[in-house]
A = this chain, B = another copy of it.
Amino acid sequence: MASPRPETKLYEQIAARVRGMILDRIYRPGDRLPSVRELSRQSGVSVTTVLDAYRLLEDQGLIHPRPQSGYYVHAYANVQSAEPVLKAPATSPAHFTRDEMLQSMTHEVDRPGLIELAFANPNPDLLPLAKLARLVSTVAREHPEASYGYGPPSGHRAIREQIAQRAFAAGAVISPDEVVITMGCQEAMCLALRAVCKPGGVVAVESPCHYGVLQAIHLAGLRSLEIVTRTREGISLDALERTLIEQRELGSPVEACLVSPNFQNPLGSSMSDDDKRELNEIANRHDLVLIEDDVYGDLAFEGGRPKVLRAFEGGENVVLCSSFSKTIAPGYRVGWVVAGKWHTQIERLKHSFTISAPSLPQLVIADFLTNGGYDQYLRRARKAYASNVGRMSEAIARYFPPETRVTRPSGGYVLWVQLPDHVDSVTLYTRALEQNIFISPGVLFSTDDGYRRFIRLSASRWSPEIEGAIAKLGKMAHQ
């Protein structure tokens, strides 16, 4: 005999009240909710009841807990847009052909009054720029010769030590001697591809894929082969393995896979630990070199620092590329590569390319990392990015046509937006630019034209002006 359907429980009533306040935007994405104790006192219910209510809301994806901090409104609590349906990737390897378009875009950035949503720049308002300026002064004054000279070929030891220490939080045990400092993640990837692949080779990439990756592959004389990628969970391992087998049968085996397991650009997807482990296994099974782009790894919206592939069995020879361009300062151009058995070769290539990295920015970042300002800054930045991404998602849901679909990134600060069928993103790009709004058309993120109905927006900043720009974009997308 079934028990009778229960009346609405007390905790459900509490949950409904909080949900109402979230939907009415009294609590907005990123806001902290009242503490359990506080709400218990205010509502005259037990702490257990409030906890049950919060857990219900958590299950519904509206809020999430942060250790030692309480419950927060989830970034996408109010977002109604569906998630994008990605195109089927091209089935044969191809060269990137959008260099010219990208080049013309880099010349637009300086337009006065431009609302810049195209490039994935970190939010300068979050950064302790005054503190960095003080560090710059100190380093230049106290180490004039170090900041002036060529410096060691792999980079200054101080920063290599900091990178090795921080890798521990990402589950990897790395020695400072394994780190080679590069000109941002871009040079790291260029060097890795040169070291690992033979000219004319094929590199598997996520689809969509950051244009910088496609450029690096093209520059190394290699072709990109896009693999189906899920908007939240990252690259499809089934599709990858199938492709590896097919390409080998075709006599054009995939030599490397350049992959971004943590907060991929432009999807914001994250691979699970199980998938990372399996990816290593696939690589070992198929003699595939993994090149990992972890440039957004420090920018999780919630939870701890996600692991890198080297944290899992079989990951010793994953070539790890990253930089401080998305966290501290793009203009410092401090990136790095940890290259396992390719270390010697990469160090040699680095010398032929650019001799060594500039000294001053390395020493400044090393100081910033050492003196502990970085973690505090990261906490603030991660929260702000989660909130800004949520707000931009909301604004898109409000102002864009209802068929518009938007990703739900779990880190980083970009959104990948699928526009209604009638909208061409290259046309939208041009029309937006006429109104001083700068966006990235989706065609930059593939070797073919399959993402012509997509755009990428950077949500690192949020302001009424940016909301106005989203409203204008939405209006254009309606036409």
Which positions in A face B, CB cutoff 8 Å?
Answer: 99-100, 102-103, 106-107, 109-110, 119, 121, 124, 127, 129-130, 132-133, 136-137, 140-141, 144-153, 183-184, 186-187, 190, 199, 212, 215-216, 218-219, 221, 325, 329-333, 344, 347-349, 351-361
Q: What are the residues of chain B within 8 A of A344 when measuring CB–CB?
A: 103
Partner of A352 from B99, B133, B151, B353 at Cβ < 8 Å: B99
| A333-B355, A353-B186 known; A129+B110 contact, CB < 8 A | no
Given contact pairs A124-B148, A186-B355, a sample of 15 additional A-B residue pairs in the complex whose CB atoms are under 8 Å apart: A124-B145, A129-B145, A133-B144, A136-B137, A136-B140, A147-B331, A151-B331, A183-B353, A184-B355, A190-B352, A190-B353, A212-B355, A331-B356, A354-B354, A360-B361
29 contacts between A and B (CB under 8 A): A99-B351, A99-B352, A103-B344, A106-B351, A127-B148, A129-B144, A129-B145, A130-B141, A130-B144, A133-B137, A133-B140, A133-B144, A147-B329, A149-B330, A183-B355, A184-B354, A187-B353, A187-B354, A190-B352, A199-B199, A215-B351, A221-B221, A332-B358, A332-B359, A333-B357, A333-B358, A353-B353, A360-B360, A361-B361
**In the bound complex, what is the Cα–Cα distance between A331 and B121 (angstroms)?**
25
Chain B residues near A141: list those with CB within 8 A: 130, 133, 137
Q: Which residues of B lie under 8 Å from residue A147 when comparing CB positions?
A: 133, 136, 329, 331
User: Which residue of chain B lies nearest to A152 when distances are taken between CB atoms in the complex?
Assistant: B110
Are B136 and A332 in contact, with the CB atoms below 8 A?
no
Point out the residues of chain B lying under 8 angstroms from A356, CB to CB.
331, 333
Chain B residues with Cβ below 8 Å from A133 are 137, 140-141, 144, 147
Question: Within 8 Å CB of A360, what residues of B?
Answer: 136, 331-332, 360-361
Per CB-CB distance, the 10 closest pairs between chain A and chain B, nearest first, are A331-B359, A137-B137, A129-B144, A136-B140, A133-B140, A183-B354, A215-B352, A106-B153, A150-B330, A219-B352
Cα distance A140–B183 in the bound complex, in angstroms: 20
Knowing A133-B140, A331-B147, say if A103 contacts B359 (CB, 8 Å): no
Whether B354 contacts A148 by the Cβ 8 Å rule is: no
CA distance A354 to B119 in the complex (A): 15
Enumerate chain B residues within 8 angstroms of A110, measured Cβ to Cβ: 152
Is B216 in contact with A352, judged by CB distance below 8 angstroms?
yes
Of chain B, the residue at the smallest CB distance from A137 is B137
Flag if B348 contacts A99 (CB, 8 Å): yes
Q: How far is the CA of A353 from the CA of B358 in the complex (A)?
A: 16
- How distant is the Cα of A348 from the Cα of B99 in the complex, in angstroms? 7
Whether B136 pairs with A352 at a CB distance below 8 angstroms is no
Pair B107/A153 contact, Cβ less than 8 Å? yes
A149 touches B218 (CB 8 A): no
Contact A148 to B136, CB < 8 A, known contacts A99-B352, A353-B186, A354-B184 = no
Residues of B within 8 A of A361 (CB): 358, 360-361
Determine the distance from Cα of A347 to Cα of B361 in the docked complex, in whole angstroms: 23
Instruction: List chain B residues, Cβ under 8 A from A129.
Output: 144-145, 148
> Does A121 lie within 8 Å of B149, measured CB to CB?
yes
| A199 to B219 CA separation, bound complex (whole angstroms) | 12
Residues of B within 8 Å of A153, CB to CB, are 103, 106-107
Q: Which residues of B contact A137 (CB under 8 A)?
A: 133, 136-137, 140-141
Q: Check if A331 sits within 8 Å of B102, measured CB to CB.
A: no
Distance between A399 CB and nearest chain B CB, rounded to angstroms: 28
In the complex, the chain B residue whose C-beta lies closest to that of A191 is B353
